[in-house]
Amino acid sequence: MRFVALFLLFCTGLAQASAATVIKRPIDLDTGTGVLHGSLLLPQQDTPVPVALIISGSGPTDRDGNNPASGRIDNLKRLAQLLASQGIASVRYDKRGVATSRPAAPDERDLSVEGYVADVVAWAHLLQSDPRFGPLILIGHSEGALIASLAAPQADARAVITLAGSGRPIADVLREQLAQRLSPAQLARGNRLLDRLQAGQTSLDVPAPLREVFRPTVQPYLISLFRQDPAQAFAQLQVPALIVQGRNDVQVEVEDAERLKAAKPDAQLVLIDGMNHMLRISPKAMSAQRDSYSNPDLPLARELGERIVAFIKQLQSA
């Protein structure tokens, strides 16, 4: 029995010794117009490892996927940890004007899609200059999927992965959402506001239910966002791409993922049963999804990690 115990202890020691050590440390990017702060997870290996630059979604969503409106979610932090366990490095960062990177844009009127894209390109160049890293993959969640698609050509990314990314212009999506939530009179005002923003004009005539989302200080950013067509940007990619969409996402539809696939037929499309916008398995009804929007301890959908890792490993072997 003592021999068996020693043998098992020896085997356990070998397993622990063979497990990759993961370095966790802060990483900063001086853009020349402000410093952006992020987190690096780096598996220690003898050869350069693939590195994913993880781009968060809309609004004041931080590097971990957390938003003050919903609280702590940690879905992007969990994704980074999952990648590290499979030998894939990652950097996730607070966007300009958000969380620790707020001083880089203290006034949200200075934010734009083009600025976010430039920041991704700068991060990409920083990572590509580091000999510890191999191929760069851009992973964008929600609005971050659009930013990833727009930035990829300038960033010289090896691949793009979209998670719950829209396939339609955001103004079109907003019009549908307003039609479901506003009275006819408020809807008319809301549509007039969207018309002005799409024409590049700001407005102070904001219906009361929409003042937080369409406040005057955020309108310059929305104008820059409404100029973009996610499917068109995705179609222009000349690198491998993976589209991941949950069937229980109540914010982005399966049809959005199918639009991206139609725009770039050689992209891989993965539809995950039961997965919602927070990348977790959840019932379809929004009223039953609240826990996944507020509980950081919930695991990510298992197939999500499996498909992302398989896609990146395939890039390595190509």
Distance CA 287, CA 109 (A): 34
Domain match, 204 and 241 both:
no
Q: What's the rounded mean pLDDT across residues 89-107?
A: 96
Q: What is the pLDDT, as a whole number, of residue 5?
A: 38
Q: What is the pLDDT, as a whole number, of residue 102?
A: 96
pLDDT in tens, 24-78: 999 999 999 999 999 999 999 999 999 999 999 999 999 999 998 878 999 999 9
Residue 97 lies in a domain: yes
pLDDT in tens, 261-314: 999 999 999 999 999 999 999 998 888 898 899 999 999 999 999 999 999 999
Q: What is the pLDDT, as a whole number, of residue 287?
A: 84
Domain match, 163 and 68 both:
yes
Domain match, 176 and 191 both:
yes
Per-residue HEC secondary structure of 58-109 comes to CCCCCCCCCECCCECCCHHHHHHHHHHHCCCEEEEECCCCCHHHHHHCCCHH
Domain match, 249 and 298 both:
yes
Confidence of residue 4 (pLDDT cuts 50, 70, 90): very low
Look up the CATH number of the domain holding residue 51. 3.40.50.1820
Residue 271 lies in a domain: yes
Domain match, 198 and 282 both:
no
Residue 145 lies in a domain: yes
164 secondary structure, DSSP code: S
Domain match, 153 and 248 both:
yes
Say if residue 8's pLDDT is above 70. no
Q: What is the pLDDT, as a whole number, of residue 19?
A: 55
Give just the sign of the alpha carbon dihedral 259, 172, 253, 96.
positive
Give just the sign of the alpha carbon dihedral 211, 189, 220, 170.
positive
- φ, ψ (nearest 5 deg) of residue 62: -90, -175
291 secondary structure, DSSP code: G
pLDDT in tens, 206-261: 888 888 889 999 999 999 999 999 999 999 999 999 999 999 999 999 999 999 99
Residue 2 lies in a domain: no
Residue 1 lies in a domain: no
Domain match, 233 and 222 both:
no
Range of the domain at 189: 170-227
Distance CA 204, CA 213 (A): 13
Residue 310 three-state SS: helix
Q: What is the pLDDT, as a whole number, of residue 181?
A: 87
Domain match, 132 and 274 both:
yes
Distance CA 250, CA 255 (A): 12
Q: What's the rounded mean pLDDT across residues 109-125?
A: 97
Confidence of residue 316 (pLDDT cuts 50, 70, 90): confident
Tokens representing 236 are 């222009």
Place of tokens 């991060």: 123
Residue 4 lies in a domain: no
Say if residue 92's pLDDT is above 90. yes
84: left (phi over 0), alpha (psi -120 to 50) or beta: alpha
Domain match, 254 and 148 both:
yes
Say if residue 10's pLDDT is above 80. no
Domain match, 156 and 72 both:
yes
Q: How many CA atoms lie within 13 A of 166 on its CB side?
A: 21
Distance CA 267, CA 130 (A): 28
Confidence of residue 168 (pLDDT cuts 50, 70, 90): very high
Domain match, 69 and 193 both:
no
Residue 50 lies in a domain: yes
Place of tokens 């085997």: 11
Place of tokens 């300038």: 154
Q: What is the pLDDT, as a whole number, of residue 207?
A: 81
Q: How many domains does the chain have?
A: 2
Last residue of a domain, one of 205, 227, 249: 227
Residue 151 lies in a domain: yes
Domain match, 74 and 216 both:
no
